[in-house]
Amino acid sequence: MSTRNETGQRDPAACACLNLRKTARVVTQAYDAHLRPTGLRATQFSLLATLAPRQPVGVTQLAEKLVMDRTTLTRNLRPLEKRGLIRMAAGADSRVHEISLTEEGRAALQAAIPYWENAQNSIAERLAEPRLDRLLTDLAAAREVFRPGYRHG
Amino acid sequence: MSTRNETGQRDPAACACLNLRKTARVVTQAYDAHLRPTGLRATQFSLLATLAPRQPVGVTQLAEKLVMDRTTLTRNLRPLEKRGLIRMAAGADSRVHEISLTEEGRAALQAAIPYWENAQNSIAERLAEPRLDRLLTDLAAAREVFRPGYRHG
DNA sequence: GCAATATAAGTGTATATACACCTTAAGACA
DNA sequence: TGTCTTAAGGTGTATATACACTTATATTGC
């Protein structure tokens, strides 16, 4: 795959954005399928896993960690709160809405981890592990291009 | 970035799905910003660019090319049809809804190409071009893991 | 020719995404 | 202390995504 076509022009089929989105669709569907028995979507699993070691944490701070728009996170929290997996409470600074896992949330996350590991194994093994590491590193570099200075994993 | 943490366990922070989605968010926002003056989103630009050399084409066939769920494409076609950039017509097989660019659609795509090139250049140059090529190749390999046999760019 | 099957596409519903805008609370400072 | 600015968060609106289900048409086998 080259970013230029036969005549040296940029080729829209080699669009970095399109290729990222296509891959994100395929991989998300696969992770969602693995996680189906847990009742969590891949996005929700990642949200809970990112939240777990940081609780309690405010909306803006968690959104930054997830490289997600703050208002997107607000909306993504809704179904998890409705299902009782997370809880929101006012912080010392009453503007901050602190997010925490509930007991159910901790249990759901723990229960989901083996299913997530199966999904991660399926790509790690079939892509050959060094190549997955390289892909993750290159993805972080791509984020760095547009968000310089942030600590991209 | 390693897919395992210090104790050899899988690390959810190294989730392939999460990292793909984070990067897709960042890169999509950047492409959307570049394309803003054209009135097209990155997804819409890619849809038109993928459609252009294949018209007329049915919904299922175009969805496959975009590695997109068929019903997602149906929904994504709506705003483009409403704005008169594409047209849908019954094919010889009356089950097939053939999609084509309108004259306005062709013009909008042509007008948007320089803006898309600016976006693509910004990542190609700052990521160092060989690395972008490698990333695109690795992304195609990742799709191949979950969709074997498909001609991933 | 007709019943069974396969193919193409849309709808209902729910989550995911983010920009523009608004509200509220905290901090700064004359 | 009262105003100005900044920070945290939500809402309105629109697009993006996909599973389960449904409808309509074509094809196949007899």
* Stretch (H or E) spanning B101: strand B97-101
| A152: confidence class by pLDDT, cuts 50, 70, 90 | low
pLDDT the model gives residue B152: 58
Nearest-Cα residue of chain A relative to residue B130? A2
Chain B stretch 94-123, residues whose beta carbon is closer than 8 A to a beta carbon of chain A? 113, 116-117, 119-123
Q: What is the mean pLDDT of chain B?
A: 93
pLDDT the model gives residue A147: 86
Distance CA(B63)–CA(A36), nearest Å, equals 24
Residues A50, A68: contact at Cβ < 8 Å? no
Q: Report the candidate in B41, B27, B25, B30 with the shortest Cα–Cα distance to residue B112.
A: B41
| A153: confidence class by pLDDT, cuts 50, 70, 90 | low
* Cβ within 8 Å, pair A16-B126: no
* Stretch (H or E) spanning B97: strand B97-101
Amino acid at B70: R
Spatial distance from the CA of A94 to the C1' of C25 (Å): 7
Listed by start position, the domains of chain B span: 14-145
Residues of B within 8 A of A113 (CB-CB) are 12
- Separation in Å, CA of A135 to nearest CA in chain B: 6
| A94: confidence class by pLDDT, cuts 50, 70, 90 | very high
- Separation in Å, CA of B152 to nearest CA in chain A: 9
Spatial distance from the CA of B96 to the C1' of D16 (Å): 23
Q: Report the candidate in B107, B118, B121 with the shortest Cα–Cα distance to residue B48.
A: B107
Distance CA(B38)–CA(B49), nearest Å, equals 14
Distance CA(B21)–CA(A69), nearest Å, equals 12
- DSSP type of residue B100: E
Distances (CA, A) of B85 to A14, B37, B45, B51, B71: 23, 16, 11, 11, 19
Phi, psi of A87 (to 5 degrees): -140, 145
**Which of the residue ranges A65-69, B2-6, B146-150 would you say has the lowest mean pLDDT?**
B2-6
pLDDT the model gives residue A29: 98
CB proximity list for A79: less than 8 A, separation 6 or greater: A44
pLDDT tens across B134-149, in order?
999 999 999 999 988 6
CA angle (A60, A66, A68) in 5-degree steps = 70
| Range A40-146: architecture per CATH | Orthogonal Bundle (1.10)
- What's the length of chain A? 153
Nearest residue to nucleotide C7, by CA–C1' distance, is: B95
Protein-contacted bases of chain D (C-beta within 7 A): 7-12, 14-20, 24-27
Q: Candidates 3.40.50.720, 1.10.10.10, 1.10.645.10, 3.40.50.970; correct CATH number of B14-145?
A: 1.10.10.10
Nearest residue to nucleotide D7, by CA–C1' distance, is: A95
Mean pLDDT for A121-144 is 91
